[in-house]
Amino acid sequence: MMYRLTKSLLRGLLRGLTHFEVEGEENVPAGGPLLLVFNHLAWWDAPIAMATLPWRMTAMALKDLQRVPITGQILSLSNAIFVDRGRYDRDALRQALAVLDAGGVLGIAPEGRMSVTGALERGRTGPVFIARKADVPILPAGLTGTEKANGEWRSLRRPHIRMNIGPVFRLPEGGQYASRKEERQADADFIMERLAELLPPEYRGVYADSVQ
């Protein structure tokens, strides 16, 4: 019930405080198990995904976010999995796999942090490990405009925020790599390229040359 109330509140805030647009809703599957990936521009990216998509989502978030006003409370109320920065967090990984094993939806930003450039950074390999271990499909969602929201609100304007949802995909099989580390980074780049395809050129960052 708390999740539903939080979701309703977030939807109301999106309608009242932003010009919010969603594209690609036809790509959203009925449910899990599913790994949702999205680019990370601002603290409220995960709450926006929670508010927009139809099913219950468990987000993975850095523990630092627990201290961020409003966002930290929203994530805590929605039973987010908080991850320790800079170390292998075995307990968080166990919780994430349990969500997928139970047929749920797990949301994660594969860059591992909020972008410092406002565009895509190199993808991390954590989501790759989860997707391979749980053997689940991946749904990409590209966000734009969230990084500008604070400035727009300070100027008493409603920011234009857009979510573009792409087709579900799975990681490819059969590549030839020199090491497991190289293979996992190739998979991470594959995920990020699917996100880059959903974003305008100025948001593609290090993947600008990887997509048409």
Per-residue DSSP letters for the chain? -HHHHHHHHHHHHHHHHSEEEEE-GGG--SS-SEEEEE---STTHHHHHHHHSSS-EEEEEEGGGGGSTTHHHHHHHTT-EEE-TTS--HHHHHHHHHHHHTT-EEEE-TTSS--SSSS--PPPSHHHHHHHHHT--EEEEEEESGGGHHHHHHTT---EEEEEE---B--------SSHHHHHHHHHHHHHHHHHTTS-GGG-GGGTTT--
Q: Would you state the pLDDT for residue 168? A: 97
pLDDT at 13: 87
Q: For domain 2-207, give the fold.
A: Glycerol-3-phosphate (1)-acyltransferase (3.40.1130)
Consecutive 10-residue runs of the chain (212 residues): their mean pLDDT?
80 91 95 95 87 89 70 70 75 91 94 91 91 95 93 92 96 81 92 97 94 79
Tens-digit pLDDT profile for residues 4-17? 888 888 889 889 99
What pLDDT was estimated at residue 199?
Answer: 97
pTM reported for the whole predicted model: 0.90
